[in-house]
Amino acid sequence: MNAPRRALVVIDVQQEYFQGPLAVQHPPRDESLPRIARAVDSAVEAGVPVITVQHEYPAGAPVFAVGSEGWQLHPEIERRAEAASKHVVKGFSSVFTAGDLTEWLRANDIDTLTLVGYMTNNCVLATAAAAEPLGFAVEVLSDATGAIHLANEAGKVSAQQVHETLMVLLHSNWAAVSDTDTWAGAVSDQKPLPKSDLGTSAVRGQAAR
C-alpha cells in the first residue's frame, strides 16, 4: 500500500469557539487545543503540509465578522501560521468551498486530508462528507476536534453525545478516526490509519445491541 500523501487541515480554530454560545464543550477546549497544536507541530516536523482555515462573514455579522475578536485565529494557531503551507477563508461549512483549495490539493498531489479543529458537528462533518465525491481520503482526530450542546425543535443532545456519535458515524464510512498520538505515529511510519466501513459497522452494531 502506498504511503498517504497527507495534508493537515486546521479548521476554524478561532476565538468564536472559546467564548459565547459557540464555545466548544466536548472534548473540553482546553484539552483539544493542545492536541491541535501538537498535530500542527508534528506535521511541520514530518514535512506534512498544513492548511489553516478561517471562517468569515461580512462586518456586522453576529459571529465570525471579519476583523472582530471572534473571527481571529486562536493565538496558539496564529503563532504557528507562518509554518502553514496555505491559508484559506470560507463562508460555508465545507473547506472545499474555500477559494482554490481543491485545485491546490490536486496540484500538490495530496490524497489524504487530516481534519482537526471545530466544530465536529458542522465544518468537520461537512468537509468529511464533501471529500468523498472529490476522491480524497479523510482522517479525523477525535481528541483534536470538538462539539457543542445542541437543542432545537427536533430535540436536545449534549456535546459529548454529539461528538461521540459523529466519531462513530464518520469512522463507519467517511473517515478514519483516531487520536492525535496514534496519528502522529502513522505519520512517522508513513502509513494510513485503519478505518471501518458501513457494512462492518452495521454488523458490529447489531451484535452490540
Each residue's pLDDT tens digit, 104-131: 999 999 999 999 999 999 999 999 999 9
Mean pLDDT over 179-205 rounds to: 96
Supply the CATH number for residue 98's domain.
Answer: 3.40.50.850
Q: How far apart are CA 95 and CA 11, in angstroms?
A: 8
Residue 61 lies in a domain: yes
User: What domain count does the chain have?
Assistant: 1
CB-based contact 82:112 (threshold 8 Å): no
What percent of the chain is modeled with pLDDT above 90? 96
What percent of the chain is modeled with pLDDT above 70? 100
pLDDT score for 201? 95
What is the end-to-end Cα distance of the chain in Å, rounded? 35
> Which 3 state secondary structure label does DSSP give 196?
coil
pLDDT score for 1? 59
Residue 204 lies in a domain: yes
For residue 126, give its domain range: 6-208
Q: Which residues contact 174 (CB under 8 A, 6 or more apart)?
A: 128, 129, 131, 132, 138
> How many angstroms separate the Cα of 131 from the Cα of each of 30, 169, 200?
29, 15, 21
Residue 28 lies in a domain: yes
Q: How far apart are CA 35 and CA 69, in angstroms?
A: 23
Residue 104 lies in a domain: yes
Residue 91 lies in a domain: yes
Q: How far apart are CA 71 and CA 64, in angstroms?
A: 4
CB-based contact 178:64 (threshold 8 Å): no
Residue 127 lies in a domain: yes
Q: How far apart are CA 59 and CA 39, in angstroms?
A: 31
Classify strands 150-152 and 155-157 as parallel, antiparallel or unpaired.
antiparallel
> How many angstroms separate the Cα of 144 from the Cα of each of 37, 39, 71, 202?
9, 8, 20, 26
Q: Where are the alpha helices (DSSP H) in 47-158?
A: 75-78, 101-107, 125-134
Residue 138 lies in a domain: yes
Residue 109 lies in a domain: yes
Mean pLDDT over 62-72 rounds to: 96
Banded model confidence at residue 2, pLDDT cuts 50, 70, 90: confident
Q: Where are the alpha helices (DSSP H) in 108-144?
A: 125-134
pLDDT score for 209? 85
Q: How far apart are CA 120 and CA 35, in angstroms?
A: 15
